[in-house]
Chains A and B, each alone.
Chain A
Amino acid sequence: EPEVTQTPSHQVTQMGQEVILRCVPISNHLYFYWYRQILGQKVEFLVSFYNNEISEKSEIFDDQFSVERPDGSNFTLKIRSTKLEDSAMYFCASRPGSTYNEQFFGPGTRLTVL
């Protein structure tokens, strides 16, 4: 069964460093998302991406964040200058066309900023 994959599973970085989190969505899906979950808290929406552009972003998704779909398969989240409060689990998700479709989540990348 097709699944969303994410790499790396765990990323440790120093404050101020750039990180790139990678995702491979399910191949025939059209909508792509990033969410994050700070330890012990709820899952929060970051950004949605459709037709090669951002369709919606949250207040969390400031200028330090960017997303890209550089080829037909990868979907990346870049954090330019990481802060301690960026430490969280980052989930990628994708879905087919209709709003009534479920979103399929990847296993997540645990980002630790020291």
Chain B
Amino acid sequence: SQQGEEDPQALSIQEGENATMNCSYKTSINNLQWYRQNSGRGLVHLILIRSNEREKHSGRLRVTLDTSKKSSSLLITASRAADTASYFCATVLTGANSKLTFGKGITLSVRP
């Protein structure tokens, strides 16, 4: 797998349901970040989790990080139609100059 590879590639859920998106990576990281991108728009930072952290919360978002499995998950609870977007995980590698390495992204569709 490539650095920062998300699954599933596409997810369709009903409003009010929870959405879980996963990201796997290959090499040691300094931190992992999740971004959202609405169609044709810029990237919006959602949450950052450091390599020594296991879980973080921000509003309806919960991110976990398992460095032994080199994986992270993003949970959006009580989804809304406005959450419809593409979601990307991006890693900052250990020793790297803080550049972000993005995955291909997950397209989330929330049906009203």
Contact = CB atoms under 8 A, between A and B. Distances in A.
A41 B105 CA distance: 9
Interface stretch (B15-23, B40-48, B73-81): B40-48
Contacts of B92: 99
A110 to B, nearest CB: 8
B48 A100 contact: yes
B31 A108 contact: no
> Chain B: interface secondary structure?
strand
Nearest to B4: A42
Contact of A56 (B35, B41, B88, B99): B99
A66 B48 CA distance: 30
A48 B88 contact: no
B45 A102 contact: yes
A76 to B, nearest CB: 18
A108 B98 contact: no
A68 interface: no
Q: Lowest 5 CB-CB distances: which A-B pairs, in order?
A: A107-B42, A105-B43, A43-B102, A56-B97, A102-B45
Interface of B: 30-31, 33, 35, 41-45, 48, 50, 88, 90, 92, 96-105
21 contacts: A33-B100, A44-B102, A45-B99, A45-B100, A45-B101, A48-B97, A56-B96, A56-B99, A93-B43, A95-B98, A99-B30, A99-B92, A100-B30, A102-B45, A103-B33, A103-B45, A103-B98, A103-B100, A105-B43, A106-B42, A108-B42
Given A48-B98, A91-B43, A105-B45, 4 more contacts: A33-B100, A42-B105, A43-B90, A93-B43
